Amino acid sequence: MIRRYGETPKKGQIYGRRPGAYAVLRRGPDLLLTFQDGPTPEFQLPGGGIDQGEHILPALRREVFEETGWAIGAAQRLAVFRRFAYLPEYDRFAEKICHIFLATPALRRGPPIEPLHSAIWVPMAQAPDLLGNDGDRAVVENYLKFCAI
């Protein structure tokens, strides 16, 4: 069973399954987060949806690049969780299956190409308080317990 974070699914609401790949990107004492300025402004782990027929690691690389402008190196799975949410940009409800990876930021190739996204380095200890969803926050808090800051 995959752990759930966030809102309880609404009774009678149909949720389409939406897998996604997200990254914890560390450089020294900092983590790279993305700030999404709309439709609801919030800090997030970089990443996003896996398109139909797309493999998880290419999706992770694509999404991180689109949201941060960074290419990433080796990635290893840290966690997986699910959350139920309304996705205003798609006007639908989704059961998000969130695959979280620890990856290395390898090369900044330019600014984010995803509209309304900014890539921001933040001190690791501050990252959990900034993240906009409970699942991302729990994964980062757990990571911080097992790494040297």
Pick out the chain residues at pLDDT < 70. 148-149
Q: Could you give the domains of the chain?
A: 16-145 (3.90.79.10)
H helices present in the chain, as ranges: 56-68, 127-130, 134-145
Three-state DSSP at 132 gives coil
**DSSP secondary structure string for all residues of 70-97:** EEEEEEEEEEEEEEEEEETTTTEEEEEE
Give the whole-angstrom CA distance, residue 78 versus residue 27: 17
pLDDT of residue 5: 97
In this structure, how many other beta carbons lie within 10 angstroms of the beta carbon of residue 60?
A: 25
Answer for the pair 31, 74: CB distance below 8 angstroms, yes or no: no
pLDDT of residue 149: 56
In this structure, how many other beta carbons lie within 10 angstroms of the beta carbon of residue 66?
A: 17
Give the whole-angstrom CA distance, residue 6 versus residue 11: 15
Give the whole-angstrom CA distance, residue 126 versus residue 33: 11
pLDDT of residue 129: 97
pLDDT of residue 39: 78
pLDDT of residue 89: 82
